Amino acid sequence: MMKASRQLSMVIPGLFGPAEIKQFPEAWQDLSLPALEDLLSRTRQGNVEARGLEQTLFKLFQLNNGRGDDIPVAALTRQWEVQDAGGYWWLRADPVHLRADRDRIVMLGNEMLNISAEECRELALELNRHFSAEDWLLDAANARRWYIRLDKDPQVATTALPDVIGQDILHHMPHGKAERHWRSVMNEVQMVLHSSRVNQEREARGAPAINSLWFWGSGRLPCPVAVHWSQLWGNDAFSQALASQARVPCASLPSDAAEWLEDDKPGEQLMILDGLRDKFQFANVEAWRECVQILHDDWFAPLFTALKQHHLVALHLYPADGTVLRLSAGDARRWWVRRRSLAQWL
């Protein structure tokens, strides 16, 4: 039996599309999203002092990183997967592929790199050997997440790698007191990687080069605090790391709302749907359209019905743009509220 005491908060970065979508009204005019439009029209909007997925989740877990610059993503994910983050400053140094595009250097990330464990080991060895005079150590923990362990604050603010995907990196470089040092380190890293046998072999077989590291998410491991979430649903490493640190039960995303509604666990639950994020970053309007339609059919329409039938007490949407859209079961039944088209939200 479905529990009426359940509340669901959904973090959905990119829900309202890339800025470029406003230039192409035909991109959204023929979308059929009646439930989403009805749902949005009946919400009550509030502000959240956070933007982007990582900052929004950090806020929802009521954590304080002390310094106030970076979100300590590196320390949290390090603790989650290696359990040795305590006592150090950590900085993510993720392997990435950059592409020159006219007067820009575009971040493509690392999903397409398929780095082997042997390549991780060899590149980490080469980089640590080159930077042996530095007071830090690089650990290539896996194909996606590499870490630098430091004894003190690196004194830079950084941009989360997912927020740089598809963007010109020159607008997102480390900045702060030690920015010149870390930008110099990044340049040296690129030279080491360029001459590495690993990349020579990758290029010989037509694989994209691992041609840079991206520094981001610095900080110490924050102390866990009591939170009100009874369950977290998400597939990304950072949300799972947060749940682990806060001792909140965590599970992979259900396939759709129908599967989630079959679960009878009560309480305030948090769900991360980040499938729109890369479409947003790459300004891929067509992919964004397809993903929004799927979200509407698989998630928004069933959840809106559940609210109206009081199988769900409240639904909170966090588009990770500094706002929250709150909808109670009572709000959902306000049938007289005029539907606003999605165009008014974009």
- Percent of the chain exceeding pLDDT 70 equals 93
Distance of alpha carbon 320 from alpha carbon 272, whole angstroms = 11
pLDDT, mean of residues 224-241: 93
Look at residue 2 and tell me whether its pLDDT is greater than 80: no
More confident of the two residues 340 and 1:
340
Distance of alpha carbon 203 from alpha carbon 197, whole angstroms = 10
pLDDT, mean of residues 90-116: 95
**Residue 286 burial by CB count (10 A; 0-12/13-18/19+): exposed, middle or buried?**
exposed
Query: Is the CB of residue 22 less than 8 Å from the CB of residue 288?
Result: no
CA neighbor of 134 nearest in space, from 146, 149, 122: 149
Domain boundary assignment for the chain: 7-64+223-344, 73-219
Helices and strands, counts by H and E, the chain = 14, 12
Q: What is the pLDDT of residues 52-65, one digit of tens each?
A: 899 999 999 988 65
pLDDT, mean of residues 170-180: 95
Per-residue confidence at 102, pLDDT binned at 50, 70, 90? confident
Q: Can you give the pTM of this predicted structure?
A: 0.91
Identify the pLDDT of residue 338: 86
Per-residue confidence at 30, pLDDT binned at 50, 70, 90? confident
Distance of alpha carbon 212 from alpha carbon 191, whole angstroms = 9
In order, the DSSP letters of 220-248 are PPPPP----EEEEE--SHHHHHHHHHHT-
What average pLDDT does the chain have? 91
Q: Which residues contact 302 (CB under 8 A, 6 or more apart)?
A: 256, 257, 258, 261
Identify the pLDDT of residue 1: 40
Q: Which residues contact 62 (CB under 8 A, 6 or more apart)?
A: 225, 227
Six-digit token string for 316: 């909170």
More confident of the two residues 209 and 67:
209
Angle at 345 between CA 341 and CA 346, to 5 degrees: 110
Identify the pLDDT of residue 31: 81
Q: What is the pLDDT of residues 10-27, one digit of tens each?
A: 999 989 876 666 666 666
Helical pair 301-308 and 34-41, crossing angle rounded to 10 deg: 50
pLDDT, mean of residues 107-119: 95
More confident of the two residues 119 and 288:
119
Look at residue 227 and tell me whether its pLDDT is greater than 70: yes
Look at residue 286 and tell me whether its pLDDT is greater than 90: no
Identify the pLDDT of residue 325: 96
pLDDT, mean of residues 65-77: 80
Identify the pLDDT of residue 342: 74
Per CATH, the homologous superfamily of domain 7-64+223-344 is: Alkaline Phosphatase, subunit A (3.40.720.10)
More confident of the two residues 98 and 279:
98
What residues form DSSP beta bridges with 314?
7, 328
